[in-house]
């Protein structure tokens, strides 16, 4: 079946540190891949996406590259800020008709000043 596996948290970093949150997927067909972010007290927001192999999604300094050969979509940021503290969810969608999303379990990121 279709599934997403992401690294468990919490991830605790100091401000300006480099961030990587690993995400791998299993899917039939050709999925689109997403990173969503949930800030404290807010709803899920789309952070970035990639719809085909080798595409790179980017937003707010975050990047992720769709790697078909390793079935991965790791999230990276070169220099995190306290305001990046949130829960990050990797997700995939394999059905173009419904856009139904399948999520990973989420990774809590805590950035300390």
* Interface contacts to other proteins, rule CB under 8 A: 4, 41-46, 89, 91, 96-106
CB of 78 to other proteins, least distance (A): 25
CB of 23 to other proteins, least distance (A): 11
**C-beta of 61 vs 96, nearer to other proteins:** 96
CB of 77 to other proteins, least distance (A): 20
Strands (E), the chain: 3-6, 11-14, 19-21, 23-26, 32-38, 45-50, 56-59, 62-65, 75-77, 86-93, 102-103, 107-112
**C-beta of 33 vs 91, nearer to other proteins:** 91
CB of 49 to other proteins, least distance (A): 8
**C-beta of 12 vs 78, nearer to other proteins:** 12
**C-beta of 51 vs 65, nearer to other proteins:** 51
Report how far apart the first and last C-alpha atoms of the chain are (Å, whole number).
41
Q: How many CB atoms lie within 10 A of CB 87?
A: 17
**In angstroms, how far is CA 85 from the centroid of its own chain?**
14
């Amino acid at each position: 079946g279709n599934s997403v596996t992401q690294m468990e948290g919490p991830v605790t970093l100091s401000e300006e540190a480099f961030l990587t949150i690993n995400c791998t997927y299993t899917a039939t067909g050709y999925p689109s891949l997403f990173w969503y972010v949930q800030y404290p007290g807010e709803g899920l927001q789309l952070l970035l996406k990639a719809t085909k192999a080798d595409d790179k999604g980017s937003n707010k300094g975050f990047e992720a590259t769709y790697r078909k050969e390793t079935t991965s979509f790791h999230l990276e940021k070169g220099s995190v800020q306290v305001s990046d503290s949130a829960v990050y969810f990797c997700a995939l969608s394999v059905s173009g008709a419904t856009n139904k999303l399948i999520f990973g379990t989420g990774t809590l990121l805590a950035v300390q000043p």
